[in-house]
Structures are given as structure tokens and as C-alpha cells.
């Protein structure tokens, strides 16, 4: 029998970790912050374009290796160690940015590789920690705390720092945000230390599956839904990667006239809050199809706003560019939320692990290649890439009509959207 004080202690600690982690995740985002810093401090556009694809590939490797690595010790302590290591890597990066020349900046993709592996293992460890230490009702509550609390705190930090402490035209402002994110990641690691397993949920066996074995199984041939799921996720990469693309492309076309880094981070938080509000209002009637249509619609709207921003004068840029980032972030959040929900709608067989690994590998590898292409296109000083994003988002909107029409709240996947909807920033886990 688990005592009430023990359960309350776990929830308070998990809430502190979740909010701190959400803040750190946005202020140190590999998809936006590191490429932006790379360009701002004089790194090459090619090196900046490599950062996020490298992270994505390394993150996939970390996810696959996680079951073996996490079996060595307490998962909560392992997660605390992983977050500490991530904070340390970012701290070394922050010091290197300010002290070393451009050669260091062009090597940031190697830093992204290390962060990707650590982040992949940490993502699985975090799921296991929350599953083993929280009651069912608390798991849904913790996702709301993380999504809302993290976005509100990130917004507050960026607004206060931008208003009173940061010079939007100064490069030091970018590194200052990075150090705040590092501090938040360290706080998240410390918050995990009081958490103890409650034994309230069924134990989930850790069974690792090799990538080659999962690819050889080819579940897309056995289960038609897997093929449709993968096609949709790949088509929606233009939505998932929208925030990264528009932030880099806007900076390439307009420089600091468009956005400072703290503006981008703040507006991404606003986009996350926008999706949270939409989900809260529609959660009892929402379907996977409806959520995807919403995500694609937001992607189309962000592309249209970006094209309008490219054609108007400088005075309109701050407002329009802010609208672009907000809409893109909300669309990315909605897209990522459907991934876990759609997956768990059909799972429940003996080969679930093989299916999940297969889908992770296919989406992860594809996202790496697509991310590299988007990264290169984002640095072109023309509006042609934005037209491409509009066409891709429009086709995603058309394709979304084929998604399942099941009401999420009436399926076994209903609680999972609550659990996963906040984890959209630069990752591909479900």
C-alpha cells in the first residue's frame, strides 16, 4: 500500500521536473536555438543546417539503445544523471561559443549528435519514471502542468529578459537565454531525486528490439494502418519542422529586423498555449482526423503569413513574423500529439514493440533527410522555399481527410494525448 504523503511527494517532484524540463527544452532547443546561434555568431549556413538532422538521427539511436542502458540502475536516478549530462554539454557549448572562434560554431552539429543520444535515452527514461511513480489521474494532470506551466514560465522569462535585460540586437542575448535553459535543466535533474517508485502500475517489461529485426518484419505489409500512419507522418514533416524552418528563413531574409531569438522562443510558447487551449475546448469531440486537419490548416496559415511578410515593408515584419512562428508552433504541437494517439489506437498485439521501433526508424530516418533539405532551403535568400512549404502544407491538409475519424476520448488512446501533447519540441518519440 502506497502512502498518500509518498504519492504527493512524487507528484510535486514530478511537477517541478516537468515545468523545469519544459522551460529548458524550449530555451535550449536544438531545432531553433542552436542553428540561430550558429548563424548569429558567424557560423556557416551549411553547418547550421546540419544541426537538427544530426540531432534527429542521434536521438533515434538513443531511443533504440534506451532499454539496455536503463536496466543498469534506478530509472529516476538515471534520468537525473542524463539531464545533468545534457546541461553539462550545453554549458560547455555556451562557454565555447563565447571563447572560441568560428571553427567551434561549425562543429555544433557534433554537439547536436551527443545531445541527440542523451535526449533519446532520457525521453524513454522519463516515460518510465512517470509511469512507475504517479497514479493514473496524476499522469494526465502532470501533462497539463508541463504543457501549460512550462509555456507560461518560458513566456514570462523571455518577456522579462527581453524587456529589462537583453539587447535584441546583441549576440550576448542569445547566449543568456541558453544559460537560463541550462539552469532550468539542472533544476529538473535535482527535482527528480525525491521521486520513488510507487508500484501502483503494472510493470512494463523492457524488451529491446534490433533495428534490423524490426525492418525485416515489415509490419507495414501486415497492418495497412501502419502504412497509412507512416505516409501521413512523413507528409506532415513540413508542419512538424515549421517552427525551425520559419525562424531560420526569416532571419536569413530579414536578419534582426524580423526576430530576435527571445522573440522566437516566446512566440513558440504562445503557439504551445494556443494548441493547449484548442485541445482543452475540443478534447471530448476531437478526432485524429480533426486534429490533423487543424495542424495542416495552421501550417497553411503560417506559410501564407510568411509570404505576406516577405512582400511587405520592414515595419510590418515584427507582427507578421510573430504570427508565423506562433501558428507554426501550434501546428507542430497538434501534429506531434496525433502521433502517439494514432499509434496507440491500434496497438495491443504481441508485436507492438516491433511496430513501434519500425515506425520510429522510418520516421526518424526520413525526418533526418527532410530536416537537412529544409535546413538548406531555409538559408536561401528568396521566398521560393516558403512557396514550397505552402504547397507541402496544402497537400498535407488534403491528405488528412484519410486519417481515422474515431473520437479520441472514446478510444483506449484517449488518455495518451494528454500524456504526450507537450513533448513536441524537436523530437519524434511517441
pLDDT in tens, 229-238: 899 989 999 9
Q: Which pLDDT score is estimated for 220? A: 74
Q: Which pLDDT score is estimated for 75? A: 74
CB 246 within 8 A of CB 326: no
Q: Which pLDDT score is estimated for 178? A: 84
The pairs formed by 71-79 with CB atoms below 8 angstroms and a separation of 24 or more are 71/206, 75/125, 75/128, 75/129, 75/132, 76/129, 76/133, 76/192, 76/193, 76/195, 76/196, 76/197, 77/192, 77/193, 78/125, 79/122, 79/125, 79/126, 79/129, 79/189, 79/192
**Cα dihedral sign for 307, 239, 175, 162?**
positive
All three cell numbers of 187: 533544476
Spell out, as residue ranges, where the chain has pLDDT lower than 70: 1-6, 71-74, 101-102, 134-144, 146, 162-173, 197-216, 251, 253-263, 279-284, 312-320, 344, 347-353, 406-430
CB 39 within 8 A of CB 248: yes
Q: Which pLDDT score is estimated for 375? A: 81
Q: Which pLDDT score is estimated for 283? A: 61
Helix (H, G, I), strand (E, B) or coil at 146: helix
C-alpha span between 232 and 335 (Å, rounded): 10
Dihedral pair phi/psi, residue 407, rounded to 5°: -70, 130
Burial 95-130 (b: 16+ CB within 10 A, else e): eebeeeeeebbbbbbebbbbbbbbbbbbbbbbbbbb
CB 139 within 8 A of CB 11: no
Amino acid at each position: 500500500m502506497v502512502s498518500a504523503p509518498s504519492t504527493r511527494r512524487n507528484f510535486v517532484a514530478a511537477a517541478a521536473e516537468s515545468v523545469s524540463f519544459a522551460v529548458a527544452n524550449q530555451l535550449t532547443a536544438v531545432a531553433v536555438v542552436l542553428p540561430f546561434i550558429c548563424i548569429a555568431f558567424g557560423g556557416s549556413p551549411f553547418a547550421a543546417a546540419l544541426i537538427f538532422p544530426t540531432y534527429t538521427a542521434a536521438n533515434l539511436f538513443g531511443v533504440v539503445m534506451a532499454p539496455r542502458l536503463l536496466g543498469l540502475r534506478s530509472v529516476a536516478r538515471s534520468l537525473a544523471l542524463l539531464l545533468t549530462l545534457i546541461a553539462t554539454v550545453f554549458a560547455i557549448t555556451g562557454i565555447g561559443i563565447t571563447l572560441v572562434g568560428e571553427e567551434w560554431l561549425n562543429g555544433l552539429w557534433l554537439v547536436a549528435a551527443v545531445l541527440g543520444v542523451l535526449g533519446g535515452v532520457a525521453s524513454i527514461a522519463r516515460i518510465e519514471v512517470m509511469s512507475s511513480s504517479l497514479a493514473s489521474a496524476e499522469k494526465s494532470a502532470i501533462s497539463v502542468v508541463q504543457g501549460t506551466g512550462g509555456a507560461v514560465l518560458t513566456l514570462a522569462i523571455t518577456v522579462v529578459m527581453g524587456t529589462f535585460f537583453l539587447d535584441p540586437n546583441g549576440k550576448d542575448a542569445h547566449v543568456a537565454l541558453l544559460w537560463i535553459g541550462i539552469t532550468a535543466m539542472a533544476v529538473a535533474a535535482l527535482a527528480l531525486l525525491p521521486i520513488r517508485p510507487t508500484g501502483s502500475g503494472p510493470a512494463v517489461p523492457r524488451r529491446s528490439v534490433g533495428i534490423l529485426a524490426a525492418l525485416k518484419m515489415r509490419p507495414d505489409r501486415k497492418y495497412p494502418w501502419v502504412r497509412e500512419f507512416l505516409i501521413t507522418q512523413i507528409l506532415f514533416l513540413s508542419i512538424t519542422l515549421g517552427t525551425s524552418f520559419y525562424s531560420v528563413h526569416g532571419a536569413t531574409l530579414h536578419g534582426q529586423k524580423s526576430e530576435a531569438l527571445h522573440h522566437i522562443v516566446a512566440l513558440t510558447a504562445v503557439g504551445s498555449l494556443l494548441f493547449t487551449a484548442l485541445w482543452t475546448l475540443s478534447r471530448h469531440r476531437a478526432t485524429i482526423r480533426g486534429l490533423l486537419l487543424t495542424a495542416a490548416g495552421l501550417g497553411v496559415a503560417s506559410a501564407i503569413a510568411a509570404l505576406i511578410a516577405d512582400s511587405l515593408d520592414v515595419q510590418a515584419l515584427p507582427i507578421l513574423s510573430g504570427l508565423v512562428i506562433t501558428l507554426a508552433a501550434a501546428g507542430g504541437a497538434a501534429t506531434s500529439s496525433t502521433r502517439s494517439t494514432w499509434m496507440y489506437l491500434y496497438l495491443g498485439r504481441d508485436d507492438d514493440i516491433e511496430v513501434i521501433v519500425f515506425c520510429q526508424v522510418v520516421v526518424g530516418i526520413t525526418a533526418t533527410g527532410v530536416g537537412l533539405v529544409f535546413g538548406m532551403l531555409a538559408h536561401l535568400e528568396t521566398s521560393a522555399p516558403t512557396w514550397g512549404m505552402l504547397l507541402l502544407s496544402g497537400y498535407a491538409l488534403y491528405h488528412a481527410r484519410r486519417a481515422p475519424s474515431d473520437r479520441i476520448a472514446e478510444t483506449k488512446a484517449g488518455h495518451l494525448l494528454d500524456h504526450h501533447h507537450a513533448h513536441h519540441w524537436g523530437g519524434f518519440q511517441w
